[in-house]
Amino acid sequence: MKLTSGALFACLCIAALSSCNHAGNKTTTMADSVVLADTSMLTQPQAEAFEATIDGRQTHLYILKNKNIQAAFTNYGARIVSLFVPDRTNKLVNVNLGFDHVKGYQTSTEPYFGATIGRFGNRIARGEFSIDGKKYKVPVNNAPNALHGGPEGFQNKVWDASLSGDSSITFHYVSKDGEMGFPGNLDVRVTYSLHSNGELHASFEATTDKKTVVNLTNHAFFNLNGDGTILNHLVHINADRYTPVDSTLIPLGRHEAVEGTPFDFRKEKTIGQDIETDHVQLKNGKGYDHNYVLNDTEKYKGLKLAARVTGDKTGIRLSLYTKEPGMQFYSGNFMQSKNNLMGDKKDDLRTAFAIEPQHFPDSPNQPSFPSTVLEPGQTYKTQSVYKFDIVNL
């Protein structure tokens, strides 16, 4: 299904807001009654700018909407292009960094904006792993390691797409046996859906015909103020431990307590509060670029709380819930102002953060980590929920 630019974001409405209390802050949640949102500052992606032929396949822009949220997706990388949610003044804010044309994603120095990541999210040491004694090699693209499935990972693939009404889209891709060095034909389906209470759901499924490794996630770059620094965003991470890394960002194979370190976000604090602390792990990551071992507490719809992040200017709060055992927290340390983004923005240093639900980095080479092996006859399934509400700070 293709949409004309004139149909994009037509007649936008969002939910009225009702109040409740949480953690000492007054919060508002989205209800089903409808009020007209302020769309005067809305920067709309244009469908025509996403019409292209890549590797012999057609790319498109797709729009999802409900009373609370509007989001744009493209089948190039099965990625989120824009994600508009209301702030405390009822103005819509695009909290996802992206491009307003498909060529931007093709030529970007940062290839992962909003993309579905696979076959293996995060890093594999030296791009090597073994299954049942057989060695496999993934091309190195983050020297000396392989990152996010190698240089031609899922972010560069044109997926099949099917819409289900106005609020759900499913992307489908078959990764052939040997693609980027991974064994097995991997059949992948990813469904993104909007829910009326201010939620974006991401569901992943995969099957294989040969024993392989799988670790799927989404790599949205969030800024809950819409633009500017993220250092004053407030963050809570539901984890007592994290996995320290070496200088190449490969885990050392152990968990360490966050207590007494700059990595302790169990009590809400700003991203910038401790980011310049003289700590070897912050030096290794050039900031936060680490996997957190999530506590199995504070459940929502059967999913564990991973993190809450609040934009200091808008009051928009994002709560992430997931089935995954870990979450990578990335504070935009490698953003270099080299890309012109939607809304006349640049990807300046630390103007976005990522919270990526996942199995742990380098799991195929770390026997003590939760396994990422998928066998024929099994179905890989995982789900994450991105829940938006408003905090009056």
Interior/surface letters 272-311, b for 16+ CB within 10 angstroms, e for the rest: bebbeeeeebbebbebbbbbbbbeeeeeeeebbbbbbbbb
Q: Which residues contact 236 (CB under 8 A, 6 or more apart)?
A: 265, 266, 267, 268, 307, 308, 309
Catalytic residue among 101, 201, 219, 233: 219
Paired strand residues for 297 = none
3-state helix, strand, coil in the chain (%, to 5): 10, 45, 45
Q: Do residues 43 and 343 make contact, with C-beta atoms less than 8 angstroms apart? A: yes
Widest pairwise Cα distance in the chain: 60
Q: Do residues 73 and 45 make contact, with C-beta atoms less than 8 angstroms apart? A: no
267 phi and psi angles, rounded to 5 deg = -105, 130
Q: Which two tokens stand for residue 377?
A: 């006859």
Active site residue 233: no
Long-range contacts of 258-262 (CB under 8 A, 24+ apart): 258/292
Active site residue 148: no
- Kindly list the catalytic residues: 219, 356
